[in-house]
Homo-oligomer: A and B are copies of this chain.
Amino acid sequence: MQQDERGGKVTIVDIAREAGVSIKTVSRVINREEGVGEETRARVQALVDRLCYRPNVSARSLSSRRSYLIGAIFMRVGAYHYVGEVQVGAMRACRRAGYHLGVEQVRPPEAVGGVQGFAEGLRDARFDGVVLTPPTCDDPEVLAAVEAAGLPYVRIAPHREFERSPYVFMDDRRAAREQTLRLWNMGHRRIAFIDGPADHGSAERRRQGYLEAMRDRGVEPRPEWIAKGEFLSLSGFNATEALLRLKERPTAIFAANDEMAVGALAAAAKNGLSVPRDLSVVGFDDTPAAEAAWPRLTTVHQPTAEMAEAAVEMLIDGFGDERFRARVTARKLGYRLVQRDSAAPPSA
């Protein structure tokens, strides 16, 4: 069997010759199509395994008009931590289904090229479908470009137009509610909340969850307990300083994201408060900053990788379904409360 190594490239022809069948039959076996006898299928499959045959993706996609490529679309590949998380999950789902993952970037608005360059890239990348991550999943121009290219797509955590495409999401509101109740159940009653930017959907949902929890427990949070924030650590720092100056100082602070929680930790330290002894601080997202912080942040894990995985799954499942876009579906994924070191019962 010297042809195993003929230049390292084993083609479908080699398998067919060796098995004594036509290449079409081999093709049928590989693609799990019907029309092949039990015994023939086994013989071909064995040969495929033995010779380590892998179909040539270019030939395959040229012929079948499928690229076996899923695109993940980001606004700034470098900026957010979840880019990596999304890719992990997406790659998992891709590999399971024999697909590969390509990465495409919509240049942020301030850059040249903009959505133009993105549309071009989309065209010749020839994805079979794409997954849109926030904030691209709510950008009208991006959506238009993807739809113009005729690509099926699934959105991750969209904020708007839920009926426009299938999507995956997590229940921010409910998670925030539980996060708040966790503090409540520790014995905290004066719980403050550091809000995110006004136009940020997830920030709003988290605030609602906080409010809901407090009201559930019969407490109407005072307006001054809800501090404005910008999802940046400095804003968390400033908000916390203000909160600590209140005459009835909160015993716990729930920041709408981890970064602001880190700022809150700094403000506590500056004011001579030891966390969690004198003040509890919790965050949201479970980014690496939460692990890096000191004390390590108690937070809520957002299942980013799993959401991406689910999105790719939905995408691949939907292929071949003409009414893909029409049959809008959604999948909700669970969060997970992460207990670390920044929250404890109030000492008073």
Contact = CB atoms under 8 A, between A and B. Distances in A.
Interface of A: 8, 52, 54-59, 61-62, 67, 76-81, 83-85, 87-88, 91, 95, 100-103, 105, 117, 120-121, 123-126, 150, 232-234, 236-237, 259, 262-263, 265-267, 269-270, 272, 274, 288-289, 291-296, 305
Contacts of A78: 84-85, 87-88, 305
A281 B236 CA distance: 21
Contacts of A58: 57-59, 61-62, 67, 126
B56 A294 contact: no
A262 B103 CA distance: 32
Contacts of A259: 292
Contacts of A272: 272
Given A120-B54, A233-B292, A91 B62 contact: no
Given A83-B87, A237-B294, 14 more contacts: A54-B124, A56-B62, A59-B62, A79-B84, A81-B81, A100-B102, A101-B103, A102-B103, A103-B103, A262-B294, A263-B292, A263-B294, A265-B294, A266-B269
Q: How many copies altogether?
A: 2
A103 B91 contact: yes
Contacts of A232: 292
Nearest to A87: B77
Contact of A77 (B57, B79, B91, B234): B91
A117 B98 CA distance: 12
Contact of A57 (B88, B95, B124, B234): B124
16 contacts: A8-B150, A54-B123, A56-B62, A57-B124, A57-B125, A58-B58, A58-B67, A78-B85, A95-B121, A103-B103, A232-B292, A233-B296, A262-B294, A272-B272, A289-B289, A289-B292
B126 A105 contact: no
A126 B127 CA distance: 16
